[in-house]
Amino acid sequence: MSTKPAVTLDMSGLSCPAPLIGAKKIVDDMEIGQTMLLISDCPGTPDDLLAWARHTGNDVTSAEKLEGGRTAYLITRGGGRKVRSWQRKSNTPLL
């Protein structure tokens, strides 16, 4: 990973949704464009992160496999806004 993250959060050993919740709390306090590194070994984390990123305008920039079944996710704080259900076009899924 070439970008040095502002924050690193190791959530190894914790099951979902803990890694997502931890990442959200940190990303919400970051400036637009800042990055964080989330480390998780929960198999549900990739799906959780991608759905959350699509919904919030943040970006999962990269994912790198580590030893011990862990994965490091580089998350960039986006400038997007949360899509509310009333803002969706009809018949368009939220996620």
If we measure between CA atoms, which residue out of 36, 54, 44 comes closest to residue 17? Answer: 44
42: annotated active-site residue:
no
- Phi, psi values for residue 58, rounded to 5°: -85, 175
Q: Which two tokens stand for residue 11?
A: 């959530």
Q: Identify the active-site residue in 6, 14, 16, 72.
A: 16
End-to-end CA separation in angstroms for the chain: 27
Catalytic residues: 16
